[in-house]
Amino acid sequence: MDLIVLDTETTGLNAADGHRVIEVGCVRLANRKHTDLRFHSYVNPGRAIDPEAQEVHGITEQFLEDKPVFSEVVDHFLEFVGGSELVIHNAPFDIGFLNQELELTGSSVRLEDICAVTDSLELARQMHPGQRNSLDALCRRYGVDNSGRDLHGALLDAEILADVYLAMTGGQTTLTLEGAPSREAATDSTESGFRNDVEFPVICVDETELAEHRRWLELLGPDSPWHEIDQAGDVPQR
């Protein structure tokens, strides 16, 4: 199943208050690698944009006057995302807005019925409890370049989130919140099948490897939890 990283921009914060989607951006990943496949559309919401929201994304009502309404792009959007795993930062927000847009077109489709959904914000909170886990904070933590992000934009944010998500999930090929083991399960040798009665060899590093390790920590930034792990004990050297 391909991953599709998705983001939206809206007229305001709450779909229940009648706010609408004004931009949708999606990027497709295949085998944990970027592809050239994108879905991107601005959407005419047919209503005013809250000033607070406009300060975040910079999209004006005048800019959207000649853009399509959601019903004109919905078929292309569903064709692009259907059957994929969606990765969304704060997924309930975007899913709630998009499901409302689908309902307003007369469709009975709900995104969670045709896609798996992974909330990268919830995943980040599990991985980094007690820390800031906004997209900007995660960029700093994982060394992802977001220097071009002066304002929020759905496609740009989706591209940045794709890099962050790949960094967060490391070498794993699949990782969803439903399938992630809990902290308790991971430490229970009976449940996990991990044996704690085996003595593992200590592998020492040479000066070159240690220098590369330090350089990697610098790239991750001072907020990275790896700094705490690194400072917890000495690295055995050859």
pLDDT by 10s per residue, the chain, length 238: 789 999 999 999 999 999 999 999 999 999 999 999 999 999 999 999 999 999 999 999 999 999 999 999 999 999 999 999 999 999 999 999 999 999 999 999 999 999 999 999 999 999 999 999 999 999 999 999 888 766 588 999 999 999 999 999 984 433 333 333 333 333 333 333 444 444 545 556 566 666 666 666 666 666 655 555 555 445 555 5
Neighbours of 155 (CB within 10 A): 19
How far is the C-alpha of 10 from the C-alpha of 20, rounded, in Å?
Answer: 6
Q: Is 152 a catalytic residue?
A: yes
Q: Tell me, what's the pLDDT at 152?
A: 81
Which listed residue (19, 76, 152, 227) is catalytic?
A: 152
Answer yes or no: do 58 and 153 share one domain: yes
Q: Which domain holds residue 225?
A: 191-231
Total domain count, the chain: 2
How far is the C-alpha of 88 from the C-alpha of 71, rounded, in Å?
Answer: 22
Q: Tell me, what's the pLDDT at 181?
A: 36
Answer yes or no: do 150 and 208 share one domain: no
Task: Identify whether 85 is part of a domain.
Answer: yes
Give me 219's structure tokens.
């790239």
Task: Identify whether 238 is part of a domain.
Answer: no
Task: Identify whether 162 is part of a domain.
Answer: yes
State which H helix or E strand residue 34 sits in.
strand 33-42
Q: Tell me, what's the pLDDT at 141?
A: 95
CB 180 within 8 A of CB 189: no
For the four alpha carbons of 96, 76, 115 and 24, in that order, the dihedral sign comes to negative
Q: Which residues contact 184 (CB under 8 A, 6 or more apart)?
A: none
Task: Identify whether 177 is part of a domain.
Answer: no
Answer yes or no: do 123 and 222 share one domain: no
DSSP 204: P
Q: Tell me, what's the pLDDT at 72?
A: 98
Q: Which of 134, 168, 202 is the last residue of a domain?
A: 168
Answer yes or no: do 214 and 162 share one domain: no
The size of the chain, in residues, is: 238
CA atoms within 13 A on the CB side of 78: 19
Task: Identify whether 178 is part of a domain.
Answer: no
Answer yes or no: do 196 and 105 share one domain: no
CB 87 within 8 A of CB 94: no
Q: Which residues contact 175 (CB under 8 A, 6 or more apart)?
A: 118, 123, 169
CB 26 within 8 A of CB 115: no
Q: Tell me, what's the pLDDT at 188?
A: 35
State which H helix or E strand residue 208 sits in.
helix 207-220
Answer yes or no: do 106 and 205 share one domain: no
Answer yes or no: do 160 and 202 share one domain: no
Task: Identify whether 157 is part of a domain.
Answer: yes
Answer yes or no: do 141 and 215 share one domain: no
Task: Identify whether 140 is part of a domain.
Answer: yes
Answer yes or no: do 8 and 62 share one domain: yes
Answer yes or no: do 54 and 152 share one domain: yes
3-class SS at 77? helix
Answer yes or no: do 210 and 160 share one domain: no
Answer yes or no: do 125 and 56 share one domain: yes
How far is the C-alpha of 69 from the C-alpha of 83, rounded, in Å?
Answer: 24
Give me 14's structure tokens.
């709450």
How far is the C-alpha of 138 from the C-alpha of 223, rounded, in Å?
Answer: 9
Q: Tell me, what's the pLDDT at 94?
A: 98
Q: Which of 168, 202, 223 is the last residue of a domain?
A: 168
Position 13, amino acid = L
Q: Tell me, what's the pLDDT at 147?
A: 84
Task: Identify whether 115 is part of a domain.
Answer: yes
Q: Tell me, what's the pLDDT at 174?
A: 37
Find the farthest-apart pair of alpha carbons in the chain and give their distance in angstroms, rounded: 68
Instruction: Specify the CATH number for the domain of residue 68.
Output: 3.30.420.10
